[in-house]
Structure 1
């Protein structure tokens, strides 16, 4: 597995800077100050740990943050038949030979390839480009999504697989060699779309965003009081949004120093 030092460092930093890990770091500090009998420092580090956990697990607050970020780019009201390429970015998977390809895909990967298949069926003249790295997994995300697309009767000759691009930046660079300036639909999760477009717009001015896999929902009807209680599912949803914020900041830092 060919991984550069910079790529490994980026992944480690990205994981360590997630809200749950930051909260655990403060909790460990608080525990240390507690057993060393420094109560004021213990309290000072306990407060941010609890604050992060309470805020990022609050359903109402997390949902509002997701709505503000995911709805910046509007999804098309209808799927049109004007694309030469449909690009579906990878979103993770776990290979398990006991499960079907669709069951091995993560939630985001499944949502993305489903939308990509819909677009491909509306645009039968288009080529479907699926990408996604495998990491330490024996199969790449792109290969699994190709299998799902073929099961949906997308002709194999219409599918281009990009299995070795490790992140969105590399995906954009490789895929640009195929699409050029031809009309292209870009399919990825709504939280990821803003950052993905920044990379793809470097190479093409003919990219149409088609976001999917929305995590924030416009709640219809009155919410019950218990729905405002902390919920671990919303920590996971906020992680996805925070990951994208870190990615955008990382891009800005690299651009500044380059």
Structure 2
């Protein structure tokens, strides 16, 4: 989609790369060399700001702290449905199921397993697209969950579509929603906008310390966190603009 392409271009790492490439292009023209210097400075500034530990941790934490971790002590109902939104995965018959999913998907499966142990009569629905739900299901069955307890939904290309496709089956019944903590605000908004009643069970936390304790020197990991955070902020803005929150 065009909106996904634009969001990708606006991520800090992409913006930094575009500015530096534009600066390199300007070096080819003598009259544009001053512009090249400004573009190099702008690209460097983006890197220094967003790859900085406290900045990237702060951006992520503002998303992750919106929903507390799930605790059975705080919830009285016996849940019948656990919905897991997919991350990423790639099929590879050479590898065990645990190595075909990325860290985000693995954390979501581990959280689903923890919840299933609390509510053994619940159904686990894995919602996403292509082979990812199947690969996550394989990991879950390898961890001991019976196939009869797992439902897969493979037609949803984004969070909104997951909510739409699950609406008819879950209706307004209370259910547990599992996804990465940074993705939870947008996920809750998408499901609640359709009148559904999710209880959040966030996982895959990326900001686990005080932001001021982070490394002030720029690092690739900090830039990755900033990219993930800005992806969610852009997603929240887009969903708000098209009335999906």
Task: Give me the TM-score of the superposition, normalised by structure 2.
Answer: 0.91
SS in 1 for 2:208: coil
SS in 2 for 1:88: strand
Residues 181-205 of structure 1, C-alpha deviation per residue, up to 9 Å, x if partnerless? 2220000001100001111102344
* Partner residue in 2 for 1:209: 200
Shift of 1:149: 1.6
* Partner residue in 1 for 2:95: 99
Give 5+ residue unaligned stretches, structure 2. none
Residues 31-83 of structure 1, C-alpha deviation per residue, up to 9 Å, x if partnerless? 22223122332222222211111112112221122122211222234475621
SS in 2 for 1:255: coil
Residues 122-151 of structure 1, C-alpha deviation per residue, up to 9 Å, x if partnerless? 1011110011213xxxxx111011111212
Q: Distance in 1 between matches of 2:14 and 2:43?
A: 10
Q: Distance in 1 between matches of 2:120 and 2:199?
A: 17
SS in 1 for 2:27: helix
SS in 1 for 2:126: strand
Residues 156-197 of structure 1, C-alpha deviation per residue, up to 9 Å, x if partnerless? 111110112111111111111221122200000011000011
- Please tell me the root mean square deviation across aligned C-alpha atoms, in Å: 2.1
Q: Distance in 1 between matches of 2:238 and 2:210?
A: 33
Q: Distance in 1 between matches of 2:34 and 2:6?
A: 29
* Partner residue in 2 for 1:218: 209
Task: Give me the TM-score of the superposition, normalised by structure 1.
Answer: 0.86
* Partner residue in 1 for 2:16: 23
1:92/1:132 contact within 8 Å kept: no
Greater relative CO, 1 or 2 (CA 8 Å, sep 6+): 2
Give the number of equivalent residue pairs: 241
The 5-angstrom pairing of residues 101-250 of structure 1 reads: 101-134=97-130, 140-219=131-210, 227-250=215-238
Give 5+ residue unaligned stretches, structure 1. 1-7, 135-139
